[in-house]
Structure 1
């Protein structure tokens, strides 16, 4: 029982950390001066890893 509670708490901590990291990445990508590398299906910024689909 205690192990399950500890695991749930760890999952919540990791989810909060993931959300904060996603916010930081989004902010970084918004301010990046993108340098894209293109493939037939997508283009990805080599600096911030923002990816855009070229397949419509």
Structure 2
């Protein structure tokens, strides 16, 4: 992978990646919202085996 040294190109790439990340986070949130969770529990948390949604059991 060739590294770009122009700061404008790097900033543009960062913005592109941040936008893609936000879209992927939204997709994941929608999947987790609709998931019929199957939890695997530990003393501190429970995590869905299907969508990786995690909830802390330590309050």
Tell me the TM-score range normalised by the shorter chain: over 0.9
TM-score, normalised via structure 2 length? 0.90
| Higher helix proportion (structure 1 or 2) | 1
Unaligned runs of 5+ in 1: none
TM-score, normalised via structure 1 length? 0.94
Which residue does 1:31 correspond to in 2? 34
Unaligned runs of 5+ in 2: none
Alignment equivalent of 1:12, drawn from 9, 12, 15: 15
**CA displacement, residues 17-53 of structure 1 (integer Å, 9 cap, x when unaligned):** 0000000000000100000001111000010000000
| Offset at residue 3 of structure 1 (A) | 1.0
- 1:49 paired with 2:34, answer no
